[in-house]
Amino acid sequence: MHDDELSVWRNLMEDGTQCLGEEQYLNAEKYFSQGLLKAYELEVPEIVAFTLRLLATVSVRLGNLEFAEDGFKEALRICQELQNAKGMAEAWAGLASVAVKRGMLREAGRTYERAITVYPISSPQLRLGMLYADLGQVYATLESWNRSNRAYTQARQICRFNDFPKGEAELEVLLGELCFQQGKKAEASNYLKQASQIFAQLEDVVSLSNTLQYLALIHFENNQMQLAVECQQRAVALCSKFDSKDIFSESCYFLSKIEQFLENYEEAKYYLDLSIRFYPDQDIDLALRYQSLAGLFFLSMDIAKAEHYYLKALSLFETIDDARIGEIHEALAAVKEIRERKVVPVNVKDISEDKIQLHGEFALEALVRLAELYEKQRNFRDALDCYWKALEMGRDAKLTTDWIEVRVQQVSKRLRGKKSSR
């Protein structure tokens, strides 16, 4: 073997591997293709098999699955002839990744298991842990919960025994997600708390923020709103420390939703406004934020601002021809009707008792109109909030509220039905 030729091959492999890590797949393919030609010139089977696997790996990323499969099979054949167990395991793992891309998940599971079976004890165990994690994800997709749990647990143990806390924490998150998918929310919460502790010790801000948001979602689903808001507030604070506007915007948006559930409407408006300011695109998600903010201002009877944000939402919905245009027009009609009635503010000192009652009736009607709009959108939680607020307002003003109580009961029933069907 010529040292110069071997050096050229190594340089090609290093350049290709760097491009692969940076997701520059076309450049990686170019380097690995050149490396394969050089490997054949060197006439060393181990080098040929190794290069074939790397080129096939890039081909999977590029969607060239037939070429990738042929490459992995040829690498497997060479490694079987050489009795190279590590190479065989990597080739089986590569074939499993092809099966995943083709949607042949049961085949992928069997192939990952073959890779794990032949993987040598003397080889790096963290790579074995990755194979178990990949196997766990396949079984999770197949909803084979017990098999997925066993694979993830094995992967977590390998990370723990080999002093790889980041991997251990990531497996805790996957185990938590697995429990959440099965409706085991308490167990899911425990796994995510353990992951959070590890990420905090590692000062991994991004992973900690993501895990806290997942934990907040579980608390939210369990109707543990105070715990949800505490987790999400921490997540938002962490998001502000790294440069990702879209993640920060999403975090603020979810926190705003939680604050609405807690009826902290000023806080909800604050975080929703932050979410809008940091949202990077002009699309339907921004329009939905404007619509939600308009609803909050409607709820507080700030009619001018409600109209302002409804119009902003409408301008975006019209651009993308969304079906929500009708909802916005209904909301604007309600805003116009309230404004034209010239509702008198209740903090005017010389307001008469009759006018106070009139203001209460108009405000109550506005809340009911908003609740009805939420019902049409099947947003039963927000509809219920509006009806409850209208009921409280009606009782304070000593108005007839029997009909509102009926609507509260109806929407509560629909909300429970929606949750039970998940």
363: nearest Cα among 328, 381, 339, 327: 339
pLDDT given for residue 387 in this prediction: 78
334: nearest Cα among 276, 384, 282, 376: 376
CA distances from 336 to 90, 296, 298, 355, 366 (A): 67, 16, 11, 20, 11
User: What whole-number distance in Å separates Cα of residue 176 and Cα of residue 142?
Assistant: 17
Sign of the alpha-carbon dihedral angle for 234, 237, 242, 245 = positive
Residue 32 has pLDDT above 60, yes or no: yes
* Phi, psi (deg, nearest 5) at residue 58: -65, -35
CB 180 within 8 A of CB 188: yes
The HSE-up count of residue 282 (CA atoms within 13 Å, CB side) is: 7
Say which amino acid occupies 330.
E
Least reliable range by pLDDT among 48-62, 103-117, 229-243, 356-370: 356-370
User: What whole-number distance in Å separates Cα of residue 161 and Cα of residue 146?
Assistant: 22
CB 312 within 8 A of CB 320: no
CB 355 within 8 A of CB 344: yes
Rg of the chain over Cα atoms, rounded to whole angstroms, equals 29
Least reliable range by pLDDT among 80-89, 103-112, 119-128, 401-410: 401-410
User: What whole-number distance in Å separates Cα of residue 123 and Cα of residue 82?
Assistant: 16
DSSP H/E element including 133: helix 125-141
pLDDT given for residue 192 in this prediction: 96
Beta-sheet strands, E only, within 74-217: none
CA distances from 83 to 75, 92, 318, 378 (A): 12, 14, 64, 61
pLDDT per residue as tens digits for the range 126-177: 999 999 999 999 999 999 999 999 999 999 999 999 999 999 999 999 999 9
Backbone angle region of 370, left / alpha / beta, with phi > 0 → left and psi within -120 to 50 → alpha: alpha
Residues in contact with 213: Cβ distance below 8 Å, sequence separation at least 6, in sequence order? 231, 232, 235, 251, 254
Beta-sheet strands, E only, within 138-242: none
Residues in the chain: 422
Q: Average model confidence (pLDDT) for the chain?
A: 86
CB 152 within 8 A of CB 132: yes
pLDDT per residue as tens digits for the range 363-419: 666 677 777 767 776 777 777 777 777 777 777 766 677 777 778 787 777 766 655
Cβ atoms < 10 Å from Cβ of 203: 7
Q: Any idea what the Cα angle at residue 340 is, between residues 334 and 344, rounded to 5°? A: 105
